Structure 1
C-alpha cells in the first residue's frame, strides 16, 4: 500500500462538486421526499440498499488485504501480539466506560419514567424475529460462529469476525515464511490497490445512496414516530455527544490532538454514515484517512478492522441506556446489583456486533434475553425509532475507532505528529482522498 497518501488540492473546487456537500444535499432531499410523499420515499429504499451492498461487497477483501499486509509487514511477530493486546485492552476499557455512561445517564435522567406500559398489552409477534435472533446469539454459538466452514466461505459471506480470523492466521503464516513470504505479501499489497480502486468508483454514488436511505427512513417511519419517544432519542444523542466531547475528547487531548479537529477531518465519512446508518460504508476510507493522519500502516491494518467488532462505543451507550429506559417504561424495579449484572452481561453481548444497520437492536434483544427481569417483548416500543437511533450509534462508533487508531499508534511510537497536525489543519475532501494515485 503506497505511502503517497492524500494531498490537499492545489485549486479550489466548485462547492457543488465537493462530495460531502452533495451528501448533505442528498440527505436533506431524502428527508423532504420521505416527509412529503411517504409512499415514494419507501419505494426509494433500493437506492440506499444498493449503495450499502456495493460497499459491503468490498469489505471482506479490503479487511483481508489490510490485516494480512499489516501483520506480514511488521516482521516482528511479538510486535503484532503487543499491538493486538494493547488494542483489545483499550477497546475493553473505553467500551466499559461507554456502558457505564449509558447506565449513569439512564439512572439520572430516567427517560422512561411515566410511560406506565403494561408488557401484557404488547404483541410478542412484533418482536418475534428479534427474539429468535437474540436466542441464537448465545455465548457459545457466538464463539463457534467465528470459525468459518471454509477459508473462502468467510470471504464469500463477508462475516467480519470470520474474515478477521482467517486474515490474522494468514498474516502470521506469511510472516513465518520470512523472505519466501515477501512475494505473497507484495501480491496482497497490489491486490489491495485494486480493491481500493473499486472503492474510489463506488464512493462517488454515496449521495444517491444517502438520498434513498433517508427517503425510506422518513417515509417508512415518519417524523411523527419520533415525538412519542423523543425523550429517549434526545437523551441518547445528548449522551453520545457528551461521551465524544468529554471521554474521547480527554483521550484525544492526552494524545496531543483536538477531538473537534478530528471530527472535522472525518466529516465526509460521518455524513455518509449519517445517510446510511452504517459505519461499515466508510471502513475502507477510514483506513486511508488514518494512514494520512500519520498513524502507522500496520497499526491501522490491525486496529480499524478489529475495532469494528470490539470497539462499539455508541452501541454500548445505547444498550445500557435503552435497557434502563425499558425497565422504567414497564415499571420494572431494578436493584443496584441487577443493574451491575446488566452491565456485566452487556460487556459480553456487545462484542462482535458489527457496524451494520440494526445490529445494536439485536444485541439489545440478546441482552434482554439473558436478563429475565425486563420483559423482552418491551423492545417493541423501540422498533419505530431504532432506525433514527442507529445513526447516532454508527457515528459514535466511527469516531471512537478513529481515536483508538491514533492512540494505539502513539503508544507504539509510530505516530507521525507532523502529519497529524498538518492533516488536522488542512483536511482533505473525500473525493480528493480517493483519487487515483492516493494511497491504498
Structure 2
C-alpha cells in the first residue's frame, strides 16, 4: 500500500488550519476588493475597527497580570538580591537601546513617507486636538494604561512579601491563563480584522498604500537582524562567545518559535539548553522567566518603528521631547507584552491611546502585516533572553565554560 496520501493530507490539514494561511487569504481578498470595488471595500472599515475594539478590551488585564506575575515570579526580592537587580538593569538598558535603534532607523529609512499627491489621508488633527503644554501628572491621570502599570508594579512588590503569596500567584496564573486563552480565541478573528483593515486601506487610498507597509516590514526585519548580529553579537563577543554558534545551538527551538510566532512554546527547552551549555540553574530559573516579561528586544524595535511609521504616514510632526516621551512610555508599556501572539499589537494600541498624538485608527494599516512581523519579534525576543542569561551567568561567575560557543576569529 502507498503511504504517501496520509502525510499529504496531514500537511494540507496543517496548512488549512494555520492562522497565517487565512490571514494571507484575507489580505489577498481585501486587496482585490479594494482595487476592483473601492466603494464596497471602504465599507469594510467597520470590521477592522470592531476587531481593534475587541483587542483594546485585553489591554488592562494583560498588562496588569503580566507585570504582577513577572515581579512576583522572582520570589523573595531580598534573596534574589544582586542577580535580580543586575538582570533588571540589563533588561532596561538593552530594551531601551533597542527602542532607540528602532526610532533611529525609522527616521533614517522613513518607511511611512509616501507621495501624498491624490491621497485622501485623514486629518490627524481631529484625533490629536489642540496642542497643550505637557504635564506628567495630567498625562498619568488621563491614561488608564499607566495607572494599571503603576498598580501592577505595586501589587507585584507587595505580593513578594505577602504570607499568601503562593495562593495569590496561583490564582493570578489561572486568571492569566483564562485571559490569554480568550485572547487566543479572539486572534482567530484576525483574518476578518486583517480583511477589514486592508480592504479599507486599499479602497480608500489605493494599491500604492501597500508600498509603505512593505517598506515597514523590510525595515523591521533589517533592524532586528542588525540588532541580533551586531548588538547581541557584540555583547557575546565581549565574553568571547559567538552569536552564530549560539543560534546554531538553539536552532531547533528557533524553528518552534518561528512556527508558533511565540517564544513561550520553546522556553522550557531553552532553559534546559542554557543549563547544559554551562549556565547555573538558579540564574537560568531567574533570568529566563523574568526576561519573558521584561526583556523583549524584538517587541521594543517593532513598537518604536511602528509608532514613527504611523506618525510619518499621517504626517504628524513629533518634536524631540515627544520622541523622548514615546521612548519613555514604551520603556514601560513594552514590559507588558509577553511572547504571546497578538500581545505586541495590544501594547502598540495602548501606547497610541496613551500619547494622544497619532490616530489609533492607524492600526488598521498595520493589522494586515502585523502577523507576519510577529515571527521576527518572537525570534529576536527569544535570542535576546538567551544572551541575557549567558551574560548574567558570566558576570556572576556562575558559568561552567564548556567551550560550546567560543567565538571564532
Specify the TM-score bucket, using the shorter chain as the normaliser.
Answer: 0.5 to 0.7
The answer to whether the 8 A contact 1:307-1:401 is kept is: yes
1:250 is displaced (CA, Å) by 0.2
Quote the Cα distance in structure 2 between the aligned partners of 1:385 and 1:411.
39
Q: Which residue of 1 aligns with 2:113?
A: 113
Task: Tell me the secondary structure at the aligned position of residue 336 of structure 2.
Answer: coil
Quote the Cα distance in structure 1 between the aligned partners of 2:240 and 2:79.
24
1:376 is displaced (CA, Å) by 2.3
Distance 1:112 1:81, change over 3 A: same
Q: What is the number of residues matched between the two proteins?
A: 314
Quote the Cα distance in structure 2 between the aligned partners of 1:318 and 1:377.
18
Quote the Cα distance in structure 2 between the aligned partners of 1:297 and 1:341.
38
From 336, 347, 350, the counterpart of 2:320: 336
Task: Tell me the secondary structure at the aligned position of residue 383 of structure 1.
Answer: helix
Deviations for 1:275-324, whole angstroms, at most 9, x for unmatched residues? Answer: 11111111211111110111011110110011011111011111111110
From 358, 371, 380, the counterpart of 2:355: 371
In the alignment, structure 1 residue 84 sits paired with structure 2 residue 80 = no
1:221 is displaced (CA, Å) by 5.0
1:152 is displaced (CA, Å) by 3.1
Distance 1:233 1:119, change over 3 A: farther
In the alignment, structure 1 residue 289 sits paired with structure 2 residue 269 = no
The answer to whether the 8 A contact 2:246-2:405 is kept is: no
1:353 is displaced (CA, Å) by 2.0
Distance 1:143 1:215, change over 3 A: closer
Quote the Cα distance in structure 2 between the aligned partners of 1:79 and 1:277.
34
Distance 1:382 1:282, change over 3 A: same
CA-atom RMSD, angstroms? Answer: 4.2
Give runs of ≥4 in structure 1 deviating > 2 Å: 25-39, 77-80, 119-123, 134-162, 214-222, 224-228, 419-422
1:231 is displaced (CA, Å) by 0.8
Gaps of 5+ in 2: 1-9, 28-65, 128-142, 178-186, 199-208
Deviations for 1:28-65, whole angstroms, at most 9, x for unmatched residues? Answer: 995996599779xxxxxxxxxxxxxxxxxxx9xxx99x
1:421 is displaced (CA, Å) by 3.9
Q: Which residue of 1 aligns with 2:153?
A: 143
In the alignment, structure 1 residue 158 sits paired with structure 2 residue 169 = no
Task: Tell me the secondary structure at the aligned position of residue 350 of structure 1.
Answer: helix
The answer to whether the 8 A contact 1:290-1:300 is kept is: yes
From 253, 256, 272, the counterpart of 2:237: 253
Quote the Cα distance in structure 2 between the aligned partners of 1:405 and 1:27.
35
Q: How does 1:39-438 map to 2 (within 5 A)?
A: 80-114=80-114, 116=116, 117-118=121-122, 135-136=144-145, 138=147, 139-143=149-153, 146=156, 151-158=166-173, 221=194, 227=210, 229-418=213-402, 420-421=404-405
Deviations for 1:259-284, whole angstroms, at most 9, x for unmatched residues? Answer: 11111111111111111111111121
1:91 is displaced (CA, Å) by 0.7
1:249 is displaced (CA, Å) by 0.6
Gaps of 5+ in 1: 1-21, 40-58, 72-76, 124-133, 163-213, 426-440
1:380 is displaced (CA, Å) by 2.2
